[in-house]
Structure 1
């Protein structure tokens, strides 16, 4: 439930994980209107692989992998080291915190909420009061008890006026939350600590995402709040590299650019994880090579025919297909005048051969995306959606209508300025494909395409935040609610973009918990966004996870990733 957490386009990160966080057991009975995966959504099959495949020849397992008995190693794009929940600098930091912290409520692989640190939760008939009953055995990784005071502190801190992270709890509209944020109250009226294991929050109006907003990670008041003063959160930065969590693992060591080491948390409420150690390996290199040599036990790849056959031939890996609950997109800079014109945005979309870039070049291991959700979402639809099939003639027509005339050098001009698109992306093979195709595509419609590539994600993100770009390739983090896919369009995250119709439909989608009503609203919202294009949507990727054949207990949760099942992983 974030305002925005950037992740490099998943198509560009074949070996990386996406933001993850939850488990599928201990399910609570959902309240009326809770969401589930759509029965009509396309299947989550990856390429031509529809069922998991077991390793056929474990005798081929590399020595390096055989020698590990209590440790699993997984590849991850370079995290920044900001390991306090709600303060992550990217989705990759979120991969780390998802192992260190457990939320009150999780989302299972069907998209339904489960009680987790909260033993159970209740929602009042008027959908305004949420009551959480904590597990009496919940502790932080130092053995200290986790109580309702810690939950109250977490909710309060997130309402602080100086909080500038990517989590927007104010969308829940907790009664008195705005007054606290504005400094008009010393506490938040709607938050009630009933007893050490029970806490409630009362909202000003119904909100379909409130359960997950309120049910997120819990911070220790004694640790993260000992220096807290209203309006002053800078101190918390000093704690990012030494987190105190309550999840399945605790941080053992972080070596920037190389690895993040974890040790099993003996105080984890479900019991100490079966694997004593876990490592996120962040060293740059060939993901395939790391898997083939046994240096890593887990890697994900686009589900191309070649990749699947190549992985099968290794013999010692298990294969699991999946489609994640995210989407790829090209972010546009609305501070630049040309981008503000919808006809230009539509022309850039019609003029880009997304089928070749994202589908054909990946042997069908993706589908072209045209709306801000995943095919596995219960809100997914193609009805009334413009597919923006590659059409340079249509693109040229729109640019003519927008007043961009072709210059003698083949570059369109308006008011003496050339139509230039400065693209920023990562140094990956798929980025090379994008640049090669986009350069030709945009040249054909009179757009000067200027690509710039970065060796690491953090450098690309810094460039984006400087504002020196027109177009940038990203993917969303995993989405647990349809609101997650459209929040950026109304939150102010896209500076310069403002569409009242999008805002109205977004609010309507939050105002009801009725699943069918929400579905209708989001279908209408998708039509508006598909026409207005605050992003150029690119792809929904089909992936295949390859794991060490000795690894047992892996369950892919398309909404949260590997941390749902990690505490149960074993090496046979």
Structure 2
């Protein structure tokens, strides 16, 4: 069967045959709304399905339960961390092979990370490596190599940081830290990851066919170091239209229906007798939120910010726009994130909010702007319109300002944006991914918060280098109270459930812990 499939792929005679029952016998068929453009994990910040199945990383983030994960050994079978938290020594597994038969060595790891930091690569995920000594100099073109990366021998990699960073291992489990083979990748040049012939990893699946804007076919890696996948093939089809996706699923041409790709279909599947028992759901480790820019009056007053928090009926938004499939969030950390603990609930109380506005000097209400981007999904404009109506009861006279994305991003980067609503999903499972992004000294400005709280800045920096997990988590929980309650600098809304409908023949399908739709299909089976 494999030899016959390869012949069909080589001759391009796949479009009809791939969908036939015979060819689907031990093949999982999934979808993606856009073409990923490349399998190179260093060249994307959105499309991780190919990297998670074609490549491996030194450390892996494994889903252990709904919205839960653990860091486990990957290509590194173990590692040591120096007492000062600066030096990580990774001991690689022996005899791990790339898809082309080359054996993994420490030099491949050093090359991979140096390639990402080489300015000529123009990589998009460099922030996961900037803690390594010499990384900034390499990125700035002031050095030809990264001083903190060393291959001590064929099986040992030493990485030295400029300062302790507690989340470093979590960063190395991110898709962008996928490991490449030096000789193959250098030979492929700027074509790496664009075709099956220029793609090579150590992962459970091998890219065999890539038809732009149509599909990607992956085949099981018989020599995978963890053992061959149960699937023979994985077909990823590009399907952008929700109605088409539902039609393909119900006609048994797709095995997994990701409701994130077609949220309007949620009521149908949850209400359908045929499908409601085949829904697999778990918390999406991400949070919807409303930004408040403290440099914009009247939000320079914490009483006004607190009033804005209390004037939004978040449950109504969750029910109306997301069919109630989620949970209200009251802190900076969403459920499922490391260190998460329930925060003090934010009450919906427009009467109290109106009293706070009066106390702040606005007895007749106050004008505010809500910003949205013209090219974004209608869900953002829908949310703004609901919130515009809700906050009016407390006295906020909200005007919705629509701009293009370039204007919005420029204003936000300059710290000059109006209040806006957005969502942030975990790139890696650590609170730093949320606290540093939004409330560090740099993040607070470039994200348009301008919450100039020196105690928060200092605590976030301290937490980055803490080595005691319990003390570090406690600090983040204390920070949540200060940011959300004391400073009223953040309006958390809710986190969503991530729901999939799977065909009855699909077994061992587990919703990934993270905030993406991308996942490894290594453990999935079909009957």
- TM-score, normalised to structure 1, is 0.71
Residues 359 and 522 of structure 1: CA distance in aligned 2, closer, same or farther (over 3 Å)? farther
CA distance in structure 1 between the aligned counterparts of 2:192 and 2:505, rounded to whole angstroms? 36
In the alignment, which residue of structure 1 is the partner of 2:425? Answer: 476
* Superposed displacement of residue 218, structure 1: 1.5
Which residue matches 2:477? 523
Paired residue for 1:75? Answer: 31
Which residue of 2 is the match for residue 45 of structure 1? Answer: none
Candidates 333, 339, 346, aligned match of 1:388 = 346
* SS of equivalent residue, structure 2 residue 102: coil
What secondary structure is seen at the aligned counterpart in 2 of 1:241? coil
Question: 1:329: which partner in 2?
Answer: 289
Distance 2:515 2:386 in 1: 33
**1:218 aligned residue:** 179
Larger helix share, 1 or 2: 2
Give the deviation of 1:378 after TM superposition.
4.5
The equivalent residue for 2:3 is none
1:193 to 2:151 alignment: yes
Matched, 1:448 2:404: no
The within-5 A match list for 1:29-40 is none
Residues 102 and 218 of structure 1 are in contact (CA less than 8 Å); yes or no, is this contact kept in structure 2?
A: yes
Q: Aligned partners of 1:306, 1:334: CA distance in 2, in Å?
A: 39
Counterpart of 1:549 in structure 2 is: 504
Q: Which residue pairs with 1:119 in the alignment?
A: 77
Say which SS state the counterpart of residue 277 (structure 1) adopts: strand
How many Å apart are 1:549 and its aligned residue? 0.6
Change (3 A) 1:195 1:494: same
Q: Verify: 1:510 aligned to 2:470, yes or no.
A: no
516, 524, 527: which one aligns with 1:569: 524
Distance 2:396 2:517 in 1: 45
Separation (CA, whole Å) in 2 of partners of 1:285 and 1:305: 11
2:98 pairs with one of 140, 164, 173:
140
Aligned equivalents of 1:277, 1:329: Cα separation in 2: 36
> What's the secondary structure of 1:506's corresponding residue?
helix
Indicate the larger mover: 313-322 or 476-485.
Answer: 313-322
Provide the C-alpha distance between the structure 1 equivalents of 2:357 and 2:184, rounded to a whole number of angstroms. 56
Q: Counterparts of 2:50 and 2:355 in 1: how far apart (Å)? A: 48
| Partner residue, 2:58 | 104
CA 1:528 to 1:185, structure 2 compared with 1: closer, same or farther past 3 Å?
same
Q: Which of 494, 517, 525 is the aligned partner of 2:447?
A: 494
CA distance in 1, matches of 2:116, 2:40: 13
Give a deviation string over 1:288-312, Cα, whole Å, max 9, x none.
444333232112449999667525x
Aligned to 2:318: 358
Cα gap change, 1:338 to 1:259, in 2 (>3 Å): farther
CA distance, structure 1, for counterparts of residue 39 and residue 356 of structure 2:
46
Pair 1:141–1:537, CA change in 2 (3 A): farther
Distance 1:103 1:436 in 2: 43
Distance across 2 between alignment mates of 1:558 and 1:166: 21
How far, CA to CA, are the matches of 2:525 and 2:406 in structure 1?
Answer: 39
2:45 is the alignment partner of 1:95: no
Distance 2:179 2:110 in 1: 9
Contact 2:113 2:129 in 1 (8 A): no
Distance in 2 of aligned mates of 1:520 and 1:372 = 14
1:279 aligns to 2:236 (yes or no):
yes
Q: How far does the alpha carbon of each residue in 1:516-572 deviate from its partner, in whole angstroms, 9 at most, with x for none?
A: 111111111212232446553221223433211111232334248787661232321
Q: Alpha-carbon deviation of 1:106? A: 0.6
Q: 1-side partners of 2:249 and 2:402: how far apart?
A: 30
Deviation at 1:336, TM superposition (A): 6.2
Q: Aligned to 2:158, what secondary structure does the other structure show?
A: strand
Please name the residue that 1:165 is paired with.
Answer: 124
Report the count of equivalent residues: 479
Change (3 A) 1:170 1:535: farther
TM-score w.r.t. the length of structure 2 is: 0.76
Offset at residue 88 of structure 1 (A): 1.5
State how far apart, in whole Å, the 1-side matches of 2:125 and 2:356 are. 36
Q: CA RMSD in A?
A: 3.9
Match of 1:241 among 194, 216, 222: 194
Deviation track 1:113-155 (CA, whole Å, cap 9, x = no partner) reads: 1111223222234433212222333333343333211211233
CA offset at residue 184 of structure 1?
5.2
Change (3 A) 1:563 1:81: closer
Distance in 1, matches of 2:370 and 2:515, equals: 34
Gaps of at least 5 residues in structure 1 are 1-62, 228-234, 414-418, 454-459
Partner Cα separation in structure 2 for residue 239 and residue 332 of structure 1: 42
Aligned to 1:423: 372
